[in-house]
Protein backbone atom coordinates (compact mmCIF):
# COMPACT_ATOMS: atom_id res chain seq x y z
CA UNK A 1 0.00 0.00 0.00
CA UNK A 2 0.95 3.65 -0.48
CA UNK A 3 -0.01 6.61 1.68
CA UNK A 4 0.20 10.38 2.06
CA UNK A 5 0.49 12.39 5.28
CA UNK A 6 -0.83 15.79 6.25
CA UNK A 7 0.14 17.75 9.36
CA UNK A 8 -1.37 21.04 10.50
CA UNK A 9 -0.21 23.37 13.27
CA UNK A 10 -3.20 25.23 14.68
CA UNK A 11 -3.57 27.97 17.25
CA UNK A 12 -3.92 25.54 20.16
CA UNK A 13 -3.13 22.12 18.74
CA UNK A 14 -1.11 20.29 16.11
CA UNK A 15 -2.86 17.47 14.25
CA UNK A 16 -1.63 14.91 11.78
CA UNK A 17 -3.30 12.29 9.63
CA UNK A 18 -2.17 9.40 7.43
CA UNK A 19 -4.46 8.31 4.58
CA UNK A 20 -4.51 5.86 1.70
CA UNK A 21 -5.33 6.91 -1.87
CA UNK A 22 -9.05 6.47 -1.29
CA UNK A 23 -9.00 8.91 1.61
CA UNK A 24 -9.35 6.26 4.31
CA UNK A 25 -7.72 7.43 7.54
CA UNK A 26 -5.03 4.98 8.61
CA UNK A 27 -3.51 6.92 11.49
CA UNK A 28 -3.93 10.13 13.47
CA UNK A 29 -2.05 12.01 16.18
CA UNK A 30 -2.26 15.36 17.91
CA UNK A 31 -0.49 17.49 20.48
CA UNK A 32 -1.66 20.59 22.33
CA UNK A 33 0.19 23.85 22.79
CA UNK A 34 -0.71 27.35 23.98
CA UNK A 35 -1.08 30.73 22.35
CA UNK A 36 1.07 33.23 24.20
CA UNK A 37 -0.34 36.69 24.92
CA UNK A 38 2.62 38.56 26.45
CA UNK A 39 0.67 41.84 26.41
CA UNK A 40 -2.76 43.01 25.22
CA UNK A 41 -3.03 42.93 21.43
CA UNK A 42 -0.09 40.54 20.99
CA UNK A 43 -0.31 36.85 20.06
CA UNK A 44 2.68 34.53 19.65
CA UNK A 45 3.88 30.96 19.30
CA UNK A 46 7.29 29.48 20.10
CA UNK A 47 8.53 28.19 16.72
CA UNK A 48 10.86 25.53 18.13
CA UNK A 49 8.56 24.15 20.82
CA UNK A 50 5.08 24.78 19.38
CA UNK A 51 5.79 24.29 15.67
CA UNK A 52 8.81 22.07 15.08
CA UNK A 53 8.68 19.89 18.21
CA UNK A 54 4.94 19.36 17.69
CA UNK A 55 5.52 18.40 14.06
CA UNK A 56 8.20 15.86 15.00
CA UNK A 57 6.08 14.36 17.77
CA UNK A 58 3.03 13.98 15.53
CA UNK A 59 4.90 12.49 12.57
CA UNK A 60 6.74 9.97 14.76
CA UNK A 61 3.56 9.02 16.62
CA UNK A 62 1.63 8.41 13.40
CA UNK A 63 4.36 6.24 11.92
CA UNK A 64 4.80 4.24 15.12
CA UNK A 65 1.13 3.69 15.90
CA UNK A 66 0.03 3.00 12.32
CA UNK A 67 2.81 0.48 11.80
CA UNK A 68 3.37 1.47 8.16
CA UNK A 69 6.81 1.40 6.65
CA UNK A 70 8.24 4.90 6.10
CA UNK A 71 9.04 3.96 2.48
CA UNK A 72 5.30 3.49 1.85
CA UNK A 73 4.68 7.18 2.60
CA UNK A 74 4.84 8.75 -0.85
CA UNK A 75 4.38 12.46 -0.09
CA UNK A 76 3.79 14.94 2.72
CA UNK A 77 2.05 18.32 2.89
CA UNK A 78 1.86 20.64 5.85
CA UNK A 79 -0.02 23.77 6.87
CA UNK A 80 -0.04 26.07 9.86
CA UNK A 81 -1.76 29.08 11.36
CA UNK A 82 -1.13 32.19 9.37
CA UNK A 83 -0.17 34.53 8.05
CA UNK A 84 2.62 34.72 10.64
CA UNK A 85 5.85 36.71 10.83
CA UNK A 86 8.98 34.87 11.91
CA UNK A 87 12.47 36.29 11.39
CA UNK A 88 15.24 33.67 11.16
CA UNK A 89 19.01 34.00 10.88
CA UNK A 90 21.13 32.82 7.97
CA UNK A 91 20.90 29.24 9.28
CA UNK A 92 17.12 29.33 9.48
CA UNK A 93 17.00 29.49 13.27
CA UNK A 94 14.32 31.72 14.87
CA UNK A 95 15.36 35.09 16.24
CA UNK A 96 12.16 35.57 18.27
CA UNK A 97 8.73 34.07 18.82
CA UNK A 98 6.46 33.81 15.80
CA UNK A 99 4.06 36.76 15.55
CA UNK A 100 0.62 35.35 14.75
CA UNK A 101 -2.03 36.35 12.22
CA UNK A 102 -4.72 39.05 12.60
CA UNK A 103 -5.29 38.38 16.31
CA UNK A 104 -1.95 40.14 16.85
CA UNK A 105 -2.42 43.86 16.27
CA UNK A 106 0.93 45.21 17.55
CA UNK A 107 1.61 46.91 14.20
CA UNK A 108 -1.45 49.17 14.28
CA UNK A 109 0.77 52.28 14.01
CA UNK A 110 2.65 50.86 11.02
CA UNK A 111 -0.65 49.96 9.33
CA UNK A 112 -1.79 53.57 9.60
CA UNK A 113 1.52 55.05 8.47
CA UNK A 114 1.98 52.76 5.46
CA UNK A 115 -1.62 53.32 4.39
CA UNK A 116 -1.12 57.10 4.56
CA UNK A 117 2.23 56.90 2.74
CA UNK A 118 1.14 54.64 -0.12
CA UNK A 119 -2.58 55.38 -0.33
CA UNK A 120 -5.44 53.00 0.40
CA UNK A 121 -6.66 52.84 -3.21
CA UNK A 122 -3.22 51.99 -4.60
CA UNK A 123 -2.67 49.33 -1.93
CA UNK A 124 -6.06 47.79 -2.66
CA UNK A 125 -5.50 47.75 -6.43
CA UNK A 126 -1.97 46.35 -6.32
CA UNK A 127 -2.18 44.08 -3.27
CA UNK A 128 -5.87 43.11 -3.33
CA UNK A 129 -6.15 43.88 0.38
CA UNK A 130 -6.25 46.92 2.60
CA UNK A 131 -3.54 46.96 5.27
CA UNK A 132 -4.93 45.49 8.50
CA UNK A 133 -3.78 43.47 11.50
CA UNK A 134 -3.75 40.48 9.12
CA UNK A 135 -1.02 42.05 6.97
CA UNK A 136 2.55 40.84 7.47
CA UNK A 137 4.28 43.84 5.88
CA UNK A 138 3.47 46.25 8.74
CA UNK A 139 4.58 43.62 11.27
CA UNK A 140 7.96 43.33 9.56
CA UNK A 141 8.27 47.12 9.76
CA UNK A 142 7.33 46.97 13.45
CA UNK A 143 10.09 44.38 13.96
CA UNK A 144 12.61 46.53 12.08
CA UNK A 145 11.82 49.55 14.23
CA UNK A 146 11.53 47.88 17.60
CA UNK A 147 14.16 45.13 17.38
CA UNK A 148 16.94 46.67 15.23
CA UNK A 149 19.69 44.36 16.50
CA UNK A 150 17.67 41.26 15.65
CA UNK A 151 16.64 42.77 12.31
CA UNK A 152 20.31 43.11 11.38
CA UNK A 153 20.76 39.38 11.98
CA UNK A 154 17.73 38.43 9.87
CA UNK A 155 18.40 36.14 6.92
CA UNK A 156 14.77 35.52 5.95
CA UNK A 157 11.26 36.42 7.06
CA UNK A 158 9.16 33.26 7.11
CA UNK A 159 5.60 32.31 7.84
CA UNK A 160 4.80 29.29 10.02
CA UNK A 161 4.46 26.81 7.15
CA UNK A 162 7.63 28.17 5.50
CA UNK A 163 9.55 27.48 8.71
CA UNK A 164 8.42 23.85 8.85
CA UNK A 165 9.12 23.24 5.15
CA UNK A 166 12.62 24.70 5.58
CA UNK A 167 13.27 22.39 8.54
CA UNK A 168 12.14 19.44 6.43
CA UNK A 169 13.86 20.25 3.13
CA UNK A 170 16.26 23.16 3.57
CA UNK A 171 14.23 25.20 1.07
CA UNK A 172 12.85 28.71 1.74
CA UNK A 173 9.45 28.74 0.00
CA UNK A 174 5.99 30.21 0.48
CA UNK A 175 2.73 29.62 -1.37
CA UNK A 176 1.02 32.47 -3.25
CA UNK A 177 -2.08 32.23 -1.06
CA UNK A 178 -0.04 32.97 2.07
CA UNK A 179 2.18 35.52 0.33
CA UNK A 180 -0.85 37.64 -0.62
CA UNK A 181 -1.12 38.44 3.10
CA UNK A 182 2.34 40.04 3.06
CA UNK A 183 0.87 43.34 1.79
CA UNK A 184 2.25 45.74 0.66
CA UNK A 185 5.07 43.43 -0.48
CA UNK A 186 3.03 41.15 -2.80
CA UNK A 187 1.57 42.31 -6.13
CA UNK A 188 -1.57 40.28 -6.91
CA UNK A 189 -1.58 41.38 -10.56
CA UNK A 190 1.99 40.22 -11.22
CA UNK A 191 1.76 37.46 -8.57
CA UNK A 192 5.23 38.36 -7.39
CA UNK A 193 7.03 40.21 -4.61
CA UNK A 194 7.26 43.97 -5.04
CA UNK A 195 9.01 46.90 -3.42
CA UNK A 196 7.47 49.43 -5.80
CA UNK A 197 4.94 50.60 -3.21
CA UNK A 198 7.54 51.06 -0.48
CA UNK A 199 11.17 50.13 0.00
CA UNK A 200 11.34 50.95 3.71
CA UNK A 201 10.24 47.54 5.01
CA UNK A 202 12.77 44.91 3.90
CA UNK A 203 14.87 43.75 0.95
CA UNK A 204 12.93 41.34 -1.22
CA UNK A 205 15.80 38.83 -1.19
CA UNK A 206 14.94 38.19 2.46
CA UNK A 207 11.52 36.79 1.48
CA UNK A 208 10.94 33.12 0.53
CA UNK A 209 10.60 31.87 -3.06
CA UNK A 210 7.00 31.87 -4.35
CA UNK A 211 5.40 28.53 -5.28
CA UNK A 212 1.93 27.02 -5.69
CA UNK A 213 0.64 24.87 -2.83
CA UNK A 214 0.67 21.57 -4.72
CA UNK A 215 4.22 21.92 -6.05
CA UNK A 216 6.87 19.52 -4.77
CA UNK A 217 9.60 21.83 -3.44
CA UNK A 218 12.03 19.38 -1.91
CA UNK A 219 12.48 16.12 -0.03
CA UNK A 220 13.10 15.08 3.56
CA UNK A 221 16.74 15.71 4.52
CA UNK A 222 18.90 13.40 6.66
CA UNK A 223 18.67 15.77 9.63
CA UNK A 224 14.89 16.06 9.31
CA UNK A 225 14.58 12.29 8.95
CA UNK A 226 16.21 11.73 12.34
CA UNK A 227 13.90 14.24 14.00
CA UNK A 228 10.63 13.19 12.36
CA UNK A 229 11.01 9.49 11.55
CA UNK A 230 10.21 10.24 7.90
CA UNK A 231 12.27 8.58 5.20
CA UNK A 232 15.05 10.57 3.52
CA UNK A 233 13.87 11.60 0.06
CA UNK A 234 10.12 11.72 0.82
CA UNK A 235 8.59 14.51 -1.35
CA UNK A 236 7.30 17.63 0.44
CA UNK A 237 4.92 20.21 -1.05
CA UNK A 238 4.95 23.98 -0.57
CA UNK A 239 1.99 23.80 1.83
CA UNK A 240 -0.29 26.65 2.83
CA UNK A 241 -2.22 28.31 5.67
CA UNK A 242 -4.42 26.02 7.74
CA UNK A 243 -7.73 27.56 6.68
CA UNK A 244 -7.02 26.99 2.99
CA UNK A 245 -6.13 23.34 3.56
CA UNK A 246 -9.29 23.01 5.64
CA UNK A 247 -11.38 24.45 2.79
CA UNK A 248 -9.93 21.91 0.40
CA UNK A 249 -10.68 19.10 2.86
CA UNK A 250 -14.43 19.80 2.69
CA UNK A 251 -14.68 20.25 -1.07
CA UNK A 252 -14.35 23.97 -1.78
CA UNK A 253 -13.54 23.62 -5.47
CA UNK A 254 -16.18 25.47 -7.54
CA UNK A 255 -16.94 29.17 -7.81
CA UNK A 256 -19.51 30.02 -5.12
CA UNK A 257 -18.33 27.32 -2.72
CA UNK A 258 -17.74 28.70 0.78
CA UNK A 259 -16.03 27.20 3.80
CA UNK A 260 -16.88 28.29 7.32
CA UNK A 261 -14.23 27.08 9.74
CA UNK A 262 -15.32 26.84 13.38
CA UNK A 263 -12.05 27.07 15.28
CA UNK A 264 -10.22 29.42 17.58
CA UNK A 265 -11.48 32.00 15.11
CA UNK A 266 -14.23 31.87 12.54
CA UNK A 267 -12.54 31.88 9.16
CA UNK A 268 -14.39 32.03 5.86
CA UNK A 269 -13.15 31.31 2.35
CA UNK A 270 -15.25 31.85 -0.78
CA UNK A 271 -13.92 30.56 -4.09
CA UNK A 272 -14.48 33.13 -6.85
CA UNK A 273 -14.42 33.04 -10.63
CA UNK A 274 -12.53 36.36 -10.64
CA UNK A 275 -10.65 38.70 -8.31
CA UNK A 276 -12.99 40.51 -5.89
CA UNK A 277 -11.58 43.73 -4.42
CA UNK A 278 -13.14 45.31 -1.33
CA UNK A 279 -11.36 46.77 1.72
CA UNK A 280 -13.69 44.94 4.12
CA UNK A 281 -12.50 41.50 2.94
CA UNK A 282 -9.23 39.83 1.94
CA UNK A 283 -8.20 38.52 -1.44
CA UNK A 284 -5.61 35.95 -2.48
CA UNK A 285 -4.78 33.75 -5.43
CA UNK A 286 -6.16 30.33 -4.57
CA UNK A 287 -3.94 27.31 -3.99
CA UNK A 288 -3.72 26.48 -7.69
CA UNK A 289 -2.60 28.71 -10.54
CA UNK A 290 -5.36 30.71 -12.24
CA UNK A 291 -7.88 30.45 -9.37
CA UNK A 292 -9.14 33.09 -6.91
CA UNK A 293 -10.55 33.35 -3.38
CA UNK A 294 -12.01 35.93 -1.02
CA UNK A 295 -11.53 35.56 2.72
CA UNK A 296 -12.90 36.88 5.97
CA UNK A 297 -12.29 36.12 9.62
CA UNK A 298 -13.33 37.06 13.12
CA UNK A 299 -10.51 37.73 15.58
CA UNK A 300 -11.91 35.62 18.42
CA UNK A 301 -14.45 32.80 18.26
CA UNK A 302 -13.56 29.42 19.75
CA UNK A 303 -10.94 31.33 21.73
CA UNK A 304 -13.83 32.95 23.60
CA UNK A 305 -15.25 29.61 24.70
CA UNK A 306 -11.82 28.74 26.16
CA UNK A 307 -11.66 32.12 27.87
CA UNK A 308 -15.18 31.76 29.29
CA UNK A 309 -14.48 28.23 30.53
CA UNK A 310 -11.23 29.29 32.22
CA UNK A 311 -12.77 32.32 33.92
CA UNK A 312 -16.29 31.16 34.84
CA UNK A 313 -16.27 27.36 34.88
CA UNK A 314 -13.11 26.41 36.74
CA UNK A 315 -14.99 23.85 38.81
CA UNK A 316 -16.01 21.83 35.73
CA UNK A 317 -14.08 18.86 34.37
CA UNK A 318 -11.67 20.15 31.71
CA UNK A 319 -12.76 17.65 29.06
CA UNK A 320 -16.49 18.17 29.59
CA UNK A 321 -16.66 21.87 30.48
CA UNK A 322 -17.64 23.24 27.04
CA UNK A 323 -20.30 20.54 26.62
CA UNK A 324 -21.78 21.35 30.06
CA UNK A 325 -21.73 25.10 29.34
CA UNK A 326 -23.51 24.49 26.03
CA UNK A 327 -26.22 22.49 27.79
CA UNK A 328 -26.68 25.33 30.28
CA UNK A 329 -26.92 27.78 27.37
CA UNK A 330 -29.62 25.70 25.64
CA UNK A 331 -31.86 26.36 28.64
CA UNK A 332 -31.59 30.08 27.90
CA UNK A 333 -34.12 31.35 25.31
CA UNK A 334 -33.22 32.76 21.90
CA UNK A 335 -31.72 36.19 22.52
CA UNK A 336 -30.38 35.16 25.96
CA UNK A 337 -33.06 37.15 27.79
CA UNK A 338 -32.03 40.43 26.23
CA UNK A 339 -28.28 39.95 26.74
CA UNK A 340 -26.05 40.89 23.79
CA UNK A 341 -22.31 40.38 23.34
CA UNK A 342 -19.79 42.01 21.01
CA UNK A 343 -17.05 39.38 20.47
CA UNK A 344 -14.22 41.86 19.91
CA UNK A 345 -11.91 40.58 22.67
CA UNK A 346 -8.81 40.93 20.46
CA UNK A 347 -10.06 43.80 18.34
CA UNK A 348 -11.84 42.65 15.19
CA UNK A 349 -10.78 41.64 11.73
CA UNK A 350 -13.39 41.58 8.96
CA UNK A 351 -15.46 43.45 8.06
CA UNK A 352 -14.72 46.34 10.48
CA UNK A 353 -10.91 45.99 10.75
CA UNK A 354 -10.78 47.73 14.10
CA UNK A 355 -7.83 46.89 16.33
CA UNK A 356 -9.34 49.06 19.07
CA UNK A 357 -12.69 47.25 19.18
CA UNK A 358 -13.49 45.80 22.62
CA UNK A 359 -15.53 42.90 23.91
CA UNK A 360 -18.86 43.88 25.44
CA UNK A 361 -21.62 42.16 27.41
CA UNK A 362 -24.57 44.54 27.01
CA UNK A 363 -27.89 44.37 28.85
CA UNK A 364 -26.89 42.46 31.98
CA UNK A 365 -29.39 42.32 34.81
CA UNK A 366 -29.80 40.31 38.01
CA UNK A 367 -31.84 37.58 36.31
CA UNK A 368 -28.98 36.54 34.03
CA UNK A 369 -26.97 33.42 34.84
CA UNK A 370 -23.93 31.67 33.40
CA UNK A 371 -25.98 29.88 30.76
CA UNK A 372 -27.41 33.18 29.51
CA UNK A 373 -23.93 34.65 29.24
CA UNK A 374 -22.59 31.63 27.37
CA UNK A 375 -25.55 31.73 24.98
CA UNK A 376 -25.12 35.46 24.36
CA UNK A 377 -21.44 34.79 23.59
CA UNK A 378 -22.32 32.11 21.02
CA UNK A 379 -24.96 34.37 19.49
CA UNK A 380 -22.51 37.29 19.44
CA UNK A 381 -20.03 35.22 17.43
CA UNK A 382 -22.86 34.30 15.06
CA UNK A 383 -23.88 37.96 14.69
CA UNK A 384 -20.28 38.78 13.80
CA UNK A 385 -20.40 35.95 11.26
CA UNK A 386 -23.58 37.37 9.70
CA UNK A 387 -21.88 40.75 9.42
CA UNK A 388 -19.36 38.98 7.17
CA UNK A 389 -21.85 36.97 5.09
CA UNK A 390 -23.96 40.11 4.59
CA UNK A 391 -20.83 41.82 3.25
CA UNK A 392 -20.32 39.06 0.67
CA UNK A 393 -23.98 39.37 -0.38
CA UNK A 394 -23.68 43.15 -0.76
CA UNK A 395 -20.83 42.54 -3.20
CA UNK A 396 -22.94 40.15 -5.24
CA UNK A 397 -20.99 37.16 -3.94
CA UNK A 398 -23.41 35.14 -1.78
CA UNK A 399 -22.35 31.52 -1.28
CA UNK A 400 -24.05 28.93 -3.46
CA UNK A 401 -22.97 26.14 -1.09
CA UNK A 402 -21.60 26.53 2.43
CA UNK A 403 -19.44 23.79 3.96
CA UNK A 404 -18.91 23.87 7.73
CA UNK A 405 -15.78 22.35 9.26
CA UNK A 406 -13.69 22.44 12.41
CA UNK A 407 -14.02 21.42 16.04
CA UNK A 408 -16.88 23.86 16.58
CA UNK A 409 -19.15 21.82 14.31
CA UNK A 410 -19.56 19.44 17.24
CA UNK A 411 -21.26 22.28 19.16
CA UNK A 412 -24.83 22.10 17.86
CA UNK A 413 -25.81 25.28 19.70
CA UNK A 414 -23.15 27.23 17.83
CA UNK A 415 -23.81 25.81 14.36
CA UNK A 416 -27.60 26.12 14.64
CA UNK A 417 -27.38 29.70 15.91
CA UNK A 418 -25.09 30.51 12.98
CA UNK A 419 -27.54 29.12 10.41
CA UNK A 420 -30.53 30.77 12.12
CA UNK A 421 -28.83 34.17 12.35
CA UNK A 422 -27.24 34.17 8.85
CA UNK A 423 -30.17 32.40 7.17
CA UNK A 424 -27.73 30.05 5.40
CA UNK A 425 -27.88 26.24 5.42
CA UNK A 426 -24.61 24.46 6.14
CA UNK A 427 -23.35 21.14 4.82
CA UNK A 428 -21.05 19.05 7.02
CA UNK A 429 -18.75 16.45 5.50
CA UNK A 430 -18.31 12.99 6.96
CA UNK A 431 -14.75 13.79 8.05
CA UNK A 432 -14.30 17.04 9.97
CA UNK A 433 -10.62 16.41 10.71
CA UNK A 434 -9.82 19.65 8.95
CA UNK A 435 -6.58 21.04 7.58
CA UNK A 436 -4.41 17.96 8.14
CA UNK A 437 -6.82 15.92 5.99
CA UNK A 438 -6.74 18.62 3.32
CA UNK A 439 -2.94 18.47 3.43
CA UNK A 440 -2.98 14.73 2.83
CA UNK A 441 -5.18 15.41 -0.22
CA UNK A 442 -2.78 18.12 -1.46
CA UNK A 443 0.09 15.64 -1.14
CA UNK A 444 -1.87 13.09 -3.19
CA UNK A 445 -2.62 15.79 -5.79
CA UNK A 446 1.05 16.74 -5.99
CA UNK A 447 2.14 13.24 -6.97
CA UNK A 448 -0.77 12.72 -9.38
CA UNK A 449 -2.71 10.07 -7.48
CA UNK A 450 -5.98 12.04 -7.29
CA UNK A 451 -7.82 14.84 -9.10
CA UNK A 452 -9.40 17.86 -7.38
CA UNK A 453 -12.93 16.51 -7.78
CA UNK A 454 -12.00 13.29 -5.97
CA UNK A 455 -12.41 15.03 -2.60
CA UNK A 456 -16.17 14.31 -2.76
CA UNK A 457 -15.36 10.59 -2.83
CA UNK A 458 -12.79 10.97 -0.08
CA UNK A 459 -15.17 12.97 2.12
CA UNK A 460 -18.93 12.67 1.37
CA UNK A 461 -21.66 14.89 2.89
CA UNK A 462 -22.95 13.51 6.21
CA UNK A 463 -25.55 16.08 7.35
CA UNK A 464 -27.04 19.51 6.73
CA UNK A 465 -27.81 22.22 9.27
CA UNK A 466 -30.96 23.99 8.13
CA UNK A 467 -31.76 27.58 9.01
CA UNK A 468 -34.95 27.99 11.03
CA UNK A 469 -37.17 30.42 9.07
CA UNK A 470 -39.01 31.32 12.28
CA UNK A 471 -35.90 32.31 14.24
CA UNK A 472 -36.29 35.76 15.83
CA UNK A 473 -32.76 37.13 15.70
CA UNK A 474 -33.15 40.02 13.25
CA UNK A 475 -34.02 42.62 15.90
CA UNK A 476 -31.02 41.77 18.07
CA UNK A 477 -28.73 41.70 15.04
CA UNK A 478 -29.66 45.28 14.23
CA UNK A 479 -28.88 46.28 17.82
CA UNK A 480 -25.55 44.39 17.55
CA UNK A 481 -24.53 46.52 14.54
CA UNK A 482 -25.74 49.73 16.16
CA UNK A 483 -24.07 48.97 19.49
CA UNK A 484 -20.64 48.81 17.87
CA UNK A 485 -21.21 51.98 15.84
CA UNK A 486 -22.28 53.91 18.94
CA UNK A 487 -19.41 52.70 21.15
CA UNK A 488 -16.40 52.44 18.80
CA UNK A 489 -15.13 55.92 19.66
CA UNK A 490 -15.30 55.09 23.38
CA UNK A 491 -13.53 51.79 22.65
CA UNK A 492 -10.60 53.60 21.06
CA UNK A 493 -10.37 55.93 24.05
CA UNK A 494 -9.89 52.91 26.32
Convert the pLDDT of each residue in 97-113 to its tens digit. 999 998 899 999 999 99
CB-CB contact of 293 with 255 (8 Å): no
Q: How far is CA 436 from the centre of its chain?
A: 13
Task: State residue 102's pLDDT score.
Answer: 87
Task: State residue 103's pLDDT score.
Answer: 87
CB-CB contact of 188 with 283 (8 Å): yes
Q: Which run of H or E residues covers position 440?
A: helix 435-446
Task: State residue 432's pLDDT score.
Answer: 85
DSSP 241: E
Convert the pLDDT of each residue in 111-165 to its tens digit. 999 999 999 999 999 999 999 999 999 999 999 999 999 999 999 999 999 999 9
Task: State residue 318's pLDDT score.
Answer: 87
**Residue 170 pLDDT more than 90?**
yes
**Residue 263 pLDDT more than 90?**
no
**For range 200-216, the mean pLDDT:** 97
Task: State residue 221's pLDDT score.
Answer: 98
- The pTM of the full predicted model, rounded to 2 decimals, is 0.86
Please name the residue ranges forming H helices in 159-294.
Answer: 160-169, 176-179, 222-228, 242-249
Task: State residue 372's pLDDT score.
Answer: 98
Nearest residue to 284 via CA among 242, 239, 237, 244? 244
Convert the pLDDT of each residue in 433-468 to its tens digit. 889 999 999 999 999 999 999 999 999 999 999 999
Instruction: Please report the domains of the chain, with CATH numbers, ordered by start residue.
Output: 3-243 (3.30.420.40), 253-431+460-494 (3.30.420.40)
**For range 403-432, the mean pLDDT:** 94
Beta carbons within 10 angstroms of residue 289's beta carbon: 12
Task: State residue 274's pLDDT score.
Answer: 87
pLDDT band at 1 (very low <50, low <70, confident <90, very high): confident
**Residue 277 pLDDT more than 90?**
no
User: How far is the C-alpha of 447 from the C-alpha of 8, rounded, in Å?
Assistant: 19
Amino acid sequence: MSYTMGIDIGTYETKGVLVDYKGLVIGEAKRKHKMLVPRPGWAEHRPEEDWWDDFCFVSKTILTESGIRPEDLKALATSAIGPCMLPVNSSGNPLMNGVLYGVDNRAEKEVRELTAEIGETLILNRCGNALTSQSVGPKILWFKRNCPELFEKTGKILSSTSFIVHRLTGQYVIDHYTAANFSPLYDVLKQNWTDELTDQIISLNKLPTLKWSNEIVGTISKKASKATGLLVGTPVTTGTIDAAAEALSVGVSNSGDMMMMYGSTIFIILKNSKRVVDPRLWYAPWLFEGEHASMAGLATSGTLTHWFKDQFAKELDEDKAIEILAEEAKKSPVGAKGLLMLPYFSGERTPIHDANAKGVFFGLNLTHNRGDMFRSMIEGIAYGTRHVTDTFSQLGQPPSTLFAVGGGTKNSLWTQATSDITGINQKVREKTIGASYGNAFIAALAIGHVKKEDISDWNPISKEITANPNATYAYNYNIFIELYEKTKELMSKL
